[in-house]
Structure 1
Amino acid sequence: MIKINIDEKEARKLYSQKLDELIKEIDVELVFWDSKELMRRTCMSWNTIQKEFFFHPKLPKFKLGGKWYFDAKETNKFLLQWLREKAG
């Protein structure tokens, strides 16, 4: 029988580092995202985004006319921090 012990904190740290690296590799150089891009980037519906984090005071968002825009770099940072906090 094989027994494997995994340090959960170290595994999360490695996962987070790898995720950051991959995001940097695939991130398109956009200055801002619209709501459709935010949905695509998070793989969430608009309703889920509103329920989970849209009203969070630290989410950088701007409304021009009837359309929401999000600072791409700052929103990315916010989303990673939000996910880490949710994951515990």
Structure 2
Amino acid sequence: MINITIDQEEVREHYMKKIEEKMNEIDGELVYWDSKELMRRTCMSWNTIQKEFFFHPEFPKFKLGGKWYFDAQDTKMFLLHWLRDRSL
């Protein structure tokens, strides 16, 4: 007879680590975001984004034609710092 014991916590940790790795891989594929992606990533409406941080002088943004683009890495860093500053 074979007896198998599974550590549920270790399975959960392994599962979460794999999810995080996949999310980082997906994130790494995007070089820039458009306004729709920015709204999705921040869970904010366009009006809220404009009100809260869009016009901040350090917010990285580029306008090509009539469309705004945001460097994915720089925007993530800005948003993390911005959020930390707001929560103090």
**After TM superposition, is the score higher than 0.5?**
yes
CA distance in 1, matches of 2:87, 2:22: 23
Shift of 1:37: 0.2
Instruction: Tell me whether 1:51 sits opposite 2:48 in the alignment.
Output: no
Alpha-carbon distance in structure 2 between the residues aligned to 1:25 and 1:77: 20
Instruction: Give the unaligned 5+ runs of structure 1.
Output: 1-21
Paired residue secondary structure (1:58): coil
1:17 match: none
Alignment RMSD = 1.4
Deviation at 1:75, TM superposition (A): 0.2
CA distance in 2, matches of 1:25, 1:47: 31
Structure (1 or 2) with the larger CA radius of gyration: 2
Task: Report the count of equivalent residues.
Answer: 66
**Unaligned runs of at least 5 residues, structure 2:** 1-19
Determine helix, strand or coil for the equivalent of 1:78.
Answer: helix
Identity of aligned residues (%): 73
- Cα-to-partner distance string for 1:23-42 (whole Å, 9 max, x where unaligned): x7624220000000000000
The alignment's TM-score, normalised by the length of structure 2, stands at: 0.70
Query: Which TM-score applies when normalising by structure 1?
Result: 0.70
Partner of 1:78: 78
